[in-house]
Chains A and B, each alone.
Chain A
């Protein structure tokens, strides 16, 4: 009897004790004067170019800041956003997190989980391009320090292939369509693009087309509800995509191709044109040969009929960058700022410029900067920009627009229906209309 009671007591004590130890160890934020920061970063570790470049940047930061230690957690695509979101909801946001300037991470930044960087930014504002530091919050907050100003639409061209085919970069949509048959008969893909995830078509092409067919003023009115996405201004931009698809200008199976397949087709010179974002410059720099740099040109989509917006425009948004947990104070907050500023500021930008990034900070690019970085800089300096749709409209609405664009390319809906159904969703749900 006593023996059994003792056994039961031992079992209870062991069980309760195991709960106490189940929490594991927690790292101290400060140890021997070294401040340790947990950083959640958006990085595809399978991308050797990007991950190698980032490792170089982190090594440089640690060398320059021996009193700060960064511990990274890397995720990419939707898993990154899931973790960011769940961390914010659980109140366990890492010390520094990678953020988007617009609505992509808007729910997190507007929740109070992220600290306004304005007190730190004000001291370095003059170092950055004005477009990079546009207000991100309703009261002018800066949630993240952009590492670059991003052009989401660039029409890269392989000039060597154009010469081989006896062609020049087209001035108009009609000229582009006429090139299609010549390019296909030579065994090449006219325009390499991939759209399995759906966002690529909206971000890297439709946004720029809408600027041409409609312009910023129309878009501002559409956000407010004074114009409609079923207007001809928007629908005509969508019609251009339908025309390109029907004329077999895109990669075959574009809506089944994962992001990155189009880049491979362009790098391996199986495609004459590539439509993607300016951020691809670093990948092109890492994966192309120096000879190829010389004959890759940076362009915008050719002229459309009846353009009402800025001619020759792209779509521009302040880039992504790091922000910090709102609960950080004192030395921890200052350490987090050191990393944030290093990443987007002059020091990190100089390293990244050598890797093919064009920074938001105003630095003089070294003469030995990669050729494609210099071309991107020229492109941004000379090309006006309109809005990127998903930076201005609600993220949930993109879940309506992106599949509609795919369905249109499958022939299941018309461009007018795309406009009508997207407008219906925006009218009933978008936060800009409420």
Chain B
């Protein structure tokens, strides 16, 4: 056996099992879901081919459209809220603009270390009709029937959940940006200072251009994570009341596991994949231009 062939055999033996497992756990389910999305199937009987009926049904269902809108709001909060906020906090800590930076790092990162279910129950205890916030407001307003009515608004019911998502996940982006900021050669910043650069010029001309790739990576994480949001929202509101806080993942879950519509649920899961790919492709196009300009 030649050395080259020997290497190929070794690669195959060492990588093969992982590829097989990946194919079995990731690739096969995706292909199966794609196929099942064209069927009517309750999981117990034989699937019946129905073509694009599931996709037509999805887009004509106002509950799906509301879930899609909620998901896009979560994407927006993640990309335009968590990332800039996380970067700003990381930059402040990196540039030592506050004392006790270790304390702030810990406190900002702490929410991400708590289970999403615990976070959901925690905020439920604050916002619920018997929660801390509600009881305080009843005392302040002297109205013992006060409740937080934002959850009863079809338009704004998602807002408290967006707030919790922002609170919970900003810390992870702060850490990612902080780690990458610490990789910047301090000599470059010192040189800029010697040349008379001000803080905003250091940020815009020195730091940000080196963060373009990191911002792209975090944007991809934010989009993928936002479109499959489930645990926090399901534990907090279950997608209710009246579907007002429902997202696509909960819509998929209910149709699949509560109403035994496995074919329809598979189509919804593929829609999540398509949306993720579409948005990530769009983000890629934007960042290619930024990369060409700044890197």
Contacts and interface: CB of A to CB of B under 8 A. Distances in A.
Contacts of A86: 257
A413 to B, nearest CB: 9
Give the secondary structure class of A's interface. Answer: helix
A344 B152 CA distance: 42
A198 B254 CA distance: 14
Contacts of A253: 128-129, 134, 147-148
B61 to A, nearest CB: 11
Interface in A233-265: 248, 251-258, 261
B13 A255 contact: no
Interface in B240-295: 240-243, 254, 257-261
A11 B154 CA distance: 58
B6 interface: yes
A196 B128 CA distance: 10
Nearest to A197: B238
Contact of A252 (B6, B43, B147, B242): B147
Nearest to A413: B242
Contacts of B243: 403
Contact of B242 (A4, A8, A113, A407): A407
Interface string A143-157: 000000000000000
Interface residues on B, range: 35 or more
Given A11-B14, A196-B240, A407-B242, A256 B147 contact: yes
Interface stretch (A77-85, A219-227, A368-376): A77-85
A26 interface: no
Interface string B1-36: 000001001100110010000000000000000000
B135 to A, nearest CB: 11
- Considering residues A82, A184, A196, which has the most beta carbons from chain B within 10 angstroms of its beta carbon? A196
A412 interface: yes
A256 B258 contact: no
Contacts of B153: 410
A253 B254 CA distance: 24
B238 A196 contact: yes
Contact of A8 (B10, B130, B154, B257): B10
A107 interface: yes
Contacts of A407: 242
A111 interface: yes
A107 B44 contact: yes
Nearest to A11: B13
Contact of A248 (B17, B145, B151, B154): B145
Contacts of B42: 107
B163 interface: no
A187 interface: yes
30 contacts: A12-B13, A81-B257, A85-B260, A89-B43, A89-B44, A107-B42, A107-B260, A196-B237, A196-B240, A196-B241, A197-B238, A197-B240, A248-B145, A252-B129, A252-B146, A252-B147, A253-B134, A254-B129, A255-B152, A256-B148, A256-B151, A256-B152, A257-B128, A261-B129, A403-B240, A403-B241, A404-B242, A410-B152, A410-B153, A412-B242
Interface of B: 6, 9-10, 13-14, 17, 42-45, 124, 127-130, 134, 144-148, 151-154, 237-238, 240-243, 254, 257-261
Given A253-B134, A255-B240, A403-B242, 13 more contacts: A8-B9, A11-B14, A252-B129, A253-B129, A255-B242, A256-B148, A257-B129, A258-B124, A258-B128, A396-B258, A399-B258, A406-B241, A410-B241
